[in-house]
Structure 1
């Protein structure tokens, strides 16, 4: 709940009786002005301090940073040397994202959704009629696009999102007060007169509100769920991300490149004593979330004493303050023009670590019951402002790792490449709360090298390229598996599972797949049937033909139509002594 006397720190969030445009303008004006008449002197001092800080930042960092830059290496303290080395390493890892880029000229123009429009014909904003009648789990979503100085990028994103029928509304927030955007800039007539295009609304901000505007804009959404992204990416995994989200619509589903996914795994924090189980993730490349989570976050901000600069960078707080582990898909991304991106800042990583430290410190303080200690520099509100119970499916049961290159399926495996979040406990003691130290302790666990992640990342199993391969980080135990979840039943995708082929360069993998693997199929991912058929081993693959799937349990003899299959598992029937490698999968005529 908001704290009395702190309304000038963050404007209280509410839904007025005015129009959507009036409410949006009110958010912008309130945050931009932030003036409390009763504290005029403090406001003047704050403006002066902000001006001094701004000049300092433009001068190339803090005074200490500039002094350190002028010192010879031998005179720089060891702690600062380590911090500088870590920042340089992080920048190199961030630059490695070029290894995971998808060529838009090849994949973008022809990409369309597999979901038919008639799944989203409910007149209810929440599709409640469908859900209550148990006839459909498919829900319409409001897309929120944050635009800065890349008008052409925003236009490309809108044109792409229009291809997906589950996007029922598009809200564009323009953070550039020097450039006015109009709805007409994004209106493209469809050649198909039967198509139902989403409504488009543009908000032109009176000031640059940075990330904060994503959340205020989502709170204005017509639908109960939001899809949020920046204007410098094209998300080619829309269908697969959506298919995963509708199966767990209370979670945060997002995606990033493999190197960043590996880094983010070290930014998960758990302490059962406090009820802490959270993790950080980037949102800008595309994220699905319930609008209710956004409302809760705005209330959390209202109960904190965050100052303007930190409120503006809300992305560095949102996922952590959910106190839930995000569901992150690791795969290639398709960038647009990123010349004005925030990630290009020279001090990006120091800002990230500083804000994450603040975010985790605050939630730890609140969960410890110390959120209202007077004078606390890290006040985060009351303990009741944060979730305590871990949401379902719990982290250990989340086995979806990546989208398929063709966006018709998701790659899953029960074998996690990284240590569990609970392998390192986040400390209760204030003096021990150090994210860099936590990260270092986590990476001392059974953690893969950057080279292993780069060469054997999850999406290489389903990237339609037999020269790249996913490899399990550990040998697979009995009942462990890798598999696929299709966005729709195979029949609706024009396929069946009468034949399956799996490629690998490792003879030991081919032998294991031939002798110690069972194929299981499911319509809903809950009830499974075992499939059998002819097995043929080629020089680089295992081929299964004439597959039929029957229930080995109480409904013995019940046969599953392979066209209805939406889930496939390739399960080990006993412990496998070697690593499993998969370079590609074919289901029917669909090559993955």
Structure 2
């Protein structure tokens, strides 16, 4: 077993390299954008079954199986250019592709660089001039520029992303469908380590602060009204230029809401000159986050001070008065293979949202929380995030650090009713054998609207696979055989598919893959 411990890091690194090469080929700008999602499936990353010799009459349910209404594109995609023009051209090519015709109405390139951009720069992207908008800014407005661009949009929603990050088309589509129905006014994609930081950078106070921090550059869908309200608040506060330029550090905190954050599948592009470098950059970010918290404390005081009603009205509606604390306990990740969202309330952290006396306690509380966390808990959160259950790779897995509890669930949302008149629908799991007992204690439900649920009368069935999963704990590699479990869902059209645990368990949730499939009769 000791030799496995020594070679495990090498094996993991080798797998990562192979996967990155495979995705690099799939996402090459030399290939038509609309063919890339199909290439992912042809590459074998998303089989309908992981059991050897099975699958001739089984197929994954993709967005083509869903009865989606005709959808008009309602998103303006905004990309800031500074020092990574090659990346911006690649991103624009993706955003203008056929895969996003029902989502992205316009691609807005805001150029903060002194080197002027022209439409000829983007000739290779296939973006028609009617869809591509270029703005050469007379000066570098840094991150505030994305909010100004969004306020100028003709669509109700805007999509932000940095130029060193690639967000796949199906993920952007899922964000578009999600924001259109969400009670939240912004949804943020975050890699696992930033997701953890965001969860810990949350604060509730007796004075009425219920806020948190999340970055925007990994991919954020936001309502245009929210961006406009933020600009109004920035002007109302008469913020200094440096603070205005670093608007990303202020946006979520000043909104006084716990951000809706999704675990991310994004691909780093790198290149160019990064904005945040080293300890100095990190300290600058923390300084501005603290400034945002100080502003929020003042705003919450003013909005509760009846002697200043005009100021309170002027500061609102961006600063929210009602809490959405339940958002902290729900975790989500878009599926990598198609239009689909995985949601769960499985415990990933403790039972309590971080609390303090003032918003300015946020950073200190994050440090206290992270020091109190078990190192394996941090590693588990960042290495076994929810996105691992919908990435098509059996060697990766979502894993909770806590024993499974009654009332916890995992749910797939296909965003529109799935209809398979000539086939049986199944909810399928690839999971360690130790988790088979969790699924046996679940009730499997489906729903058309998310309110009325039908429970399946069928039993979950599990079959052995030839695969195993491994986890490094205390410098030892533990292996566990993987089984494929599936259950037939209730007949009729459905959009939501849920496994709801009915008993406390002595093991923690671990899911390598969860997907919806149809079995031909």
TM range (shorter): 0.7 to 0.9
Query: What residue number does 2:429 align with?
Result: 502
Tell me, yes or no, if the aligned pair for 2:200 and 2:366 is still in contact at 8 Å: yes
Distance 1:107 1:240, change over 3 A: farther
**Structure 2 Cα separation of the partners of residues 358 and 371 of structure 1:** 20
Query: What residue number does 2:136 align with?
Result: 204
Distance 1:209 1:182, change over 3 A: same
Query: What residue number does 1:245 align with?
Result: 179
Query: What residue number does 1:541 align with?
Result: 483
Flag structure 1 segments of 5+ consecutive residues without an equivalent: 1-97, 121-134, 373-378, 550-559
Distance 1:199 1:211, change over 3 A: same
Q: 2:321 aligns with which of 389, 393, 403?
A: 389
**Structure 2 Cα separation of the partners of residues 495 and 369 of structure 1:** 61
Alignment of 1:468-547 (within 5 A): 468-491=396-419, 498-505=425-432, 507-514=433-440, 516-533=441-458, 535-539=460-464, 540-544=482-486, 547=488
Distance 1:396 1:314, change over 3 A: closer
**Structure 2 Cα separation of the partners of residues 197 and 519 of structure 1:** 49
Query: What residue number does 2:253 align with?
Result: 320
Shift of 1:210: 0.5
Tell me, yes or no, if the aligned pair for 1:533 and 1:544 is still in contact at 8 Å: no
Distance 1:480 1:249, change over 3 A: closer
**Structure 2 Cα separation of the partners of residues 572 and 364 of structure 1:** 40
Query: What residue number does 2:45 align with?
Result: none
**Structure 1 Cα separation of the partners of residues 108 and 361 of structure 2:** 38
Shift of 1:161: 0.9
SS at match of 1:449: helix
Any idea what the Cα deviations from partners look like across 1:359-418, whole Å, max 9, x if unmatched?
00111122122999xxxxxx99965465343366x5348634212221432221111312
Shift of 1:186: 2.4
SS at match of 1:509: helix
Would you say 1:175 and 2:109 are equivalent positions? no
Query: What residue number does 2:86 align with?
Result: 152
Greater Cα radius of gyration, structure 1 or 2: 1
SS at match of 1:405: coil
Query: What residue number does 1:424 align with?
Result: 354
Distance 1:280 1:380, change over 3 A: farther
SS at match of 1:489: strand
Shift of 1:196: 9.1
Q: 2:161 aligns with which of 229, 239, 246?
A: 229
Query: What residue number does 1:269 align with?
Result: 203
Query: What residue number does 1:411 align with?
Result: 342
**Structure 1 Cα separation of the partners of residues 244 and 19 of structure 2:** 31
Would you say 1:184 and 2:120 are equivalent positions? yes
Query: What residue number does 1:286 align with?
Result: 219
**Structure 2 Cα separation of the partners of residues 240 and 156 of structure 1:** 20
Instruction: Give the TM-score taking structure 2 as reference length.
Output: 0.76
Flag structure 2 segments of 5+ consecutive residues without an equivalent: 1-15, 29-34, 39-61, 306-310, 465-481
Distance 1:407 1:348, change over 3 A: farther
Shift of 1:496: 6.4
Any idea what the Cα deviations from partners look like across 1:266-302, whole Å, max 9, x if unmatched?
111222x322111111111211111111111111111
**Structure 2 Cα separation of the partners of residues 198 and 399 of structure 1:** 39
Shift of 1:518: 1.3
Shift of 1:198: 6.3
SS at match of 2:434: helix
Shift of 1:357: 0.2
**Structure 2 Cα separation of the partners of residues 241 and 307 of structure 1:** 33
SS at match of 1:441: helix
**Structure 2 Cα separation of the partners of residues 589 and 184 of structure 1:** 46
Alignment of 1:358-377 (within 5 A): 358-369=291-302
**Structure 1 Cα separation of the partners of residues 274 and 18 of structure 2:** 18
SS at match of 2:302: coil
Shift of 1:144: 1.1
Q: 1:108 aligns with which of 10, 27, 45?
A: 27
Query: What residue number does 2:271 align with?
Result: 338
Tell me, yes or no, if the aligned pair for 2:236 and 2:315 is still in contact at 8 Å: no
Shift of 1:468: 1.3
What number of residue pairs does the alignment pair up?
Answer: 444
**Structure 1 Cα separation of the partners of residues 183 and 122 of structure 2:** 29
RMSD value over aligned CA atoms?
3.4
Instruction: Give the TM-score taking structure 1 as reference length.
Output: 0.68
Distance 1:529 1:482, change over 3 A: same
Distance 1:247 1:269, change over 3 A: same
SS at match of 1:320: helix
Query: What residue number does 1:32 align with?
Result: none
Relative to structure 2, which stretch is displaced further, 401-410 or 457-466?
Answer: 401-410
